[in-house]
Amino acid sequence: MQLPSSFTSKLASIFVERFSTAQAVRDHHGRDESPYPLMAPDGVVFARTNEEVSAVLRLCDQYEVPVIAFGAGTSLEGHLRPIHGGICLDLSQMNQVLDVSPNDFLVTVQCGVRRKQLNHEIKDLGLFFPVDPGADATIGGMCATRASGTNAVRYGTMRENILALTVVTSNGEIIKVGSRARKSSAGYDLTHVFIGSEGTLGIVTEITLRVYPLPEAISAATCQFPSIHEAIKAVTGIIQYGVPVARVEFVDEVAIAAINQYDKLSLKEVPTLFFEFHGSPAGVQEQAQIAEQISRDHQGEGFEWSIHPEDRARLWQARHNAYFACLQMQPGSRILNTDICVPISKLAKSIDAANEILQDSHLRSAILGHVGDGNFHALISIDPERPEDMVEAERLNSLIVQQALEVGGTCTGEHGVGIHKIQFMNAEHGPGAIELMHKIKDALDPKHILNPGKILPKD
């Protein structure tokens, strides 16, 4: 869209050098990790305070200009793409840890604080924040997408770990929702209305989070299996037995080959489970022993575990690099992700079905995921210069989502909806729920300036 000159002059007078219409700056803010082509905003504002965010939103409301919040740019579903143009509101400079309350196990941070930064700042207090989506995302972005990741099986997702928020509404009002109390029955739960709303209902600027004591002992382990089915049945058995695993990740043989090449490792290229156990020294040993026995019952072999921090770091860095490793297997490619989550009892069936769907296609793919809570991803490689690749990848994604919904699952366990998952919202929620979501959107963002075109299918 063409920004009104009076609008841009007002922004320039407020933000001076922190408002840019330079092409390079706009292009940088028109990309994320999704496979969609570049969509540059019309301008970029770098905000540092709640009041500056409020000033931007008041102007955007007055001129009916779309505004899209931007953190680290690590999202996978096109959340950040300004499909209707407008202003990109870069919040990365709002990166202060505002308050740490060790006795309450709470911290309050600005939205631009990154996950690794937070853990670095609270480590000396014997605390850590466990939600780990892999990427070094901002806390605000993780709140916006209701992120989870590798530790969710034990510590929960962003939904369970946020107590309070500061939010700037579409007309620029600064409000606070939630409290520092561990529970409350006072009125509507507005905190959880904004968590996962992807910047479509308000801009989250401050977040109060639960943090946890650093475990006394941590051990990590790997185990190899002859088939995907046996690996997933082992996970199901371990979870149903009640072993309090902190993380259990599945990586198929294709992804293991990619990791070996990318990280210069020599892991056996078969379906593999990665485990992590937290607790006392005796507790983590017992957990590992039970997991090993159940894995053996499902033909698992080569169970190796270690308490050495450097071994754990190498293992989990390799797992977090799997996405980029798969990109490197086909130079110039992009990845289309699936993100289904199903009840744990349906996990083996769902992954078997997804694997069969993928094996019938000419596109290269890998399966990995946070299988301890029923969430897994198919990473489908496409050539961005071949539109037919995108069509085929979307066909595969639709089939995988359809079978997940049939067993009571969801189209997105942790990535969020963005642009990509809108096509499944009606099938998952039904027309009544979608209509109610539209009413909430209309009430909180009557001019539809907040990240328009995301989450909700058109009326």
Determine which of 97-106, 254-263, 326-335 has the lowest per-residue pLDDT on average: 326-335
Tell me the average pLDDT across 406-435: 97
Q: Which of residues 130 and 459 earns the better pLDDT score?
A: 130
Residue 412, classed as helix, strand or coil, is strand
Confidence band of 329 (pLDDT split at 50, 70, 90):
confident
Are both 81 and 106 inside the same structural domain? no
Determine which of 150-159, 292-301, 320-329 has the lowest per-residue pLDDT on average: 320-329
pLDDT on residue 331: 85
Determine which of 156-160, 330-334, 381-385, 428-432 has the lowest per-residue pLDDT on average: 330-334
pTM here?
0.94
The answer to whether residue 256 sits within a structural domain is yes
Are both 274 and 177 inside the same structural domain? no
- Overall domain count for the chain: 3
Tell me the average pLDDT across 366-374: 94
Q: Angle 402-355-149 (CA atoms, 0-180°, nearest 5)?
A: 75
pLDDT on residue 459: 58
pLDDT beyond 70 at 229: yes
Are both 296 and 402 inside the same structural domain? yes
| Residue among 74, 156, 151, 159 at smallest CA distance from 319 | 151
Range of the domain at 105: 97-213
Are both 380 and 241 inside the same structural domain? yes
What's the distance, Cα to Cα, between the start and end of the chain in Å?
23
The answer to whether residue 459 sits within a structural domain is no
Neighbour order of strands in the sheet with 334-337: 301-306, 217-224, 272-279, 247-251, 365-369, 377-382, 334-337
pLDDT on residue 309: 84
Are both 140 and 289 inside the same structural domain? no
pLDDT on residue 90: 98
The answer to whether residue 444 sits within a structural domain is no
The answer to whether residue 426 sits within a structural domain is no
DSSP 8-state symbol, 373 = G
Tell me the average pLDDT across 337-343: 95
- Domain boundary among the residues 33, 68, 90 is at 90
Are both 296 and 344 inside the same structural domain? yes
Are both 169 and 294 inside the same structural domain? no
pLDDT on residue 26: 97
Are both 129 and 184 inside the same structural domain? yes
Are both 392 and 323 inside the same structural domain? yes
The pLDDT tens digits of the residues spanning 50-102 come to 999 999 999 999 999 999 999 999 999 999 999 999 999 999 999 999 999 99
Q: Which of residues 16 and 307 earns the better pLDDT score?
A: 16
Tell me the average pLDDT across 208-229: 95
pLDDT on residue 313: 84
Tell me the pairing of strands 272-279 and 203-210: unpaired
Amino acid at 30: G
Are both 164 and 227 inside the same structural domain? no
| Other beta carbons within 10 Å of 16 | 8
Are both 253 and 338 inside the same structural domain? yes
Domain harbouring 105, CATH code: 3.30.465.10
Please name the residue ranges forming H helices in 146-265. 152-155, 158-161, 190-194, 228-241, 253-263
